């Protein structure tokens, strides 16, 4: 197995592992949600459609050209492939995409309300988690709404009446963003039930992002 094949196998294996984590971490239910990795300028790997996460093997994970053509894998690509392709096309900095139906964040998506920075860990996503306009799932239009909401630098958006989309330079980091978004959504919900949460200013979020960027270097 050459280095390119090894890298592709590892990416597909990561999709299998993190797919199971989606259930363990209560970020989705059933076969909902999907994950993908940018393999190179012309290919992505994406979780298969309709296969229980516990049953997915690396060989099941489709490898797809950026034009949507499947070139490897025993499964059909996720029906949300158009949304993933739109993100990779618009955001060259993105190396991994995670789509979840996590309950607290999806609650705000169903309300059509962004998640503000009532907790500093929202800095992993941006200065807030915006909300898209509603579009039917698995459509090109939903992908267009997602990339419009993400803009040039945000790492998360709520898909109105649907769920959550997160991005980062790697799939593991995009998964971490999904966890942080759900945590911050839960904290904001709970704080709102008790009282009126204080929202951190954008300048503080940018300061925190600078610390996160240099963390561990």
Q: Would residue 140 show up in a list of annotated catalytic residues for this protein?
A: no
Of 55, 80, 128, 148, the catalytic one is: 80
* Predicted confidence (pLDDT) at residue 217 exceeds the cutoff of 90: no
Number of folded domains that form the chain: 1
Q: For 47-89, how does the pLDDT look when each residue is reduced to its tens digit (9 = 90+)? A: 999 999 999 999 999 999 999 999 999 999 999 999 999 999 9
Q: For 185-214, how does the pLDDT look when each residue is reduced to its tens digit (9 = 90+)? A: 999 999 999 999 999 999 999 999 999 887
Domain encompassing residue 39: 3-214
Q: For 115-128, how does the pLDDT look when each residue is reduced to its tens digit (9 = 90+)? A: 999 999 999 999 99
Q: For 131-149, how does the pLDDT look when each residue is reduced to its tens digit (9 = 90+)? A: 999 999 999 999 999 999 9
What pTM value is reported for the model? 0.96
Edge-to-edge strands of the sheet including 43-46?
A: 70-72, 63-65, 43-46, 34-38, 96-100, 163-168, 156-159
- The domain that contains 99 carries what CATH number? 3.40.225.10
């Amino acid at each position: 197995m050459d280095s390119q094949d090894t890298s592709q196998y590892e990416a597909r294996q990561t999709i299998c592992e993190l797919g199971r984590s989606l259930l363990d971490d209560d970020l989705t239910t059933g076969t909902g949600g999907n994950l993908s990795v940018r393999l190179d300028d012309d290919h992505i790997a994406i979780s298969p459609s309709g296969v229980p996460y516990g049953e997915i093997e690396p060989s099941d994970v489709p490898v797809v050209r950026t034009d949507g053509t499947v070139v490897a894998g025993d499964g059909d690509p996720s029906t949300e492939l158009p949304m993933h392709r739109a993100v990779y096309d618009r955001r060259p900095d993105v190396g991994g995409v995670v789509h979840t139906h996590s309950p607290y964040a999806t609650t705000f998506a169903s309300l059509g309300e962004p998640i503000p920075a009532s907790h500093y860990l929202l800095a992993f996503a941006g200065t807030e988690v915006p909300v898209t306009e509603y579009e039917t799932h698995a459509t090109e239009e939903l992908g267009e709404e997602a990339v419009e909401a993400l803009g040039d630098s945000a790492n998360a958006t709520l898909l109105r009446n649907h769920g959550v989309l997160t991005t980062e330079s790697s799939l593991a980091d995009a998964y971490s963003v999904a966890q942080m978004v759900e945590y911050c959504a839960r904290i904001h919900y709970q704080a709102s039930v008790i009282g009126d949460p204080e929202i951190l200013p954008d300048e503080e979020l940018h300061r925190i992002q600078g610390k996160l960027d240099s963390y561990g270097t």
